[in-house]
């Protein structure tokens, strides 16, 4: 049985009280391609995902949101896998965002709570986001993270309407 939620440790605790085998994460700003869940289930991997599309400001282009290992806490430059722009394969990655992620129950049972956590420095600056924290712990627990590159999700972003309004009225 499958259950879809957004990430936070409270949600996971309530889900784990049910007889579910798999959890699918979905954010309110993402829409997966029809059939994505069935494709991921078909691979049988404990941790697999369909990536969001993001705007890569450093390179001024749209790309799939995936990264290699990202073990360096506090360094926010994502290391994109070398073929991440052209491949349509099912391949191992270091992680991604949480939306579009399919995780077997056994993974949460093996990891310790909190499954999701923000890490800050002593000045309150964010060093590690909760998604990177989760994927790092998944890999340290011995699981691989798999990505279905052929099925990127629609990813809706908002704009600052005040800037649009001011620009239209100048």
Asked if residue 4 lies in contact with residue 26, where contact means CB atoms within 8 angstroms, the answer is yes
pLDDT category, 6, cuts 50, 70, 90?
Answer: low
| Nearest Cα to Cα of residue 46 among 159, 135, 133, 132 | 135
pLDDT category, 9, cuts 50, 70, 90?
Answer: low
Domain that holds residue 30: 2-168
Tally of domains within the chain: 1
> Using one digit for the tens of pLDDT, what is the confidence trace for 11-57?
788 888 888 899 998 888 888 889 999 999 999 999 999 988 777 77
Per-residue confidence (pLDDT) for residue 168, from 0 to 100: 57
SS3 category, 35: coil
- Residue pointed to by tokens 């506090």: 74
> Using one digit for the tens of pLDDT, what is the confidence trace for 91-138?
888 888 888 999 999 999 999 989 989 989 899 988 888 888 899 999
Backbone CA torsion sign across 2, 37, 78, 62? negative
Bigger pLDDT: 70 or 136? 136
pLDDT category, 166, cuts 50, 70, 90?
Answer: low
CATH number reported for the structural domain that contains residue 149 in this entry: 3.90.550
Residue 90 φ/ψ, nearest 5 degrees: -100, 110
């Amino acid at each position: 049985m499958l259950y879809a939620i957004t990430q936070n440790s409270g949600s996971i605790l309530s889900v784990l009280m049910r007889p579910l085998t798999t959890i699918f994460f979905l954010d309110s700003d993402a829409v997966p391609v029809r059939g994505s869940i069935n494709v991921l289930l078909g691979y049988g991997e404990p941790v697999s995902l369909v990536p969001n599309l993001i705007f890569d400001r450093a390179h001024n282009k749209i790309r799939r949101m995936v990264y290699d290992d990202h073990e360096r806490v506090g360094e926010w430059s994502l290391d994109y896998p070398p073929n991440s722009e052209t491949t349509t394969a099912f391949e191992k990655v270091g992680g991604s965002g949480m939306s579009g992620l399919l995780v077997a129950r056994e993974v949460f049972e093996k990891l310790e709570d909190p499954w999701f956590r923000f890490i800050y420095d002593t000045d309150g600056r964010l060093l590690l986001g909760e998604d990177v924290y989760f994927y790092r712990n998944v890999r340290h627990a011995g699981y691989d993270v798999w990505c279905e590159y052929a099925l990127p999700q629609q990813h809706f972003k908002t704009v600052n309407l005040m800037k649009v309004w001011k620009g239209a009225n100048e």
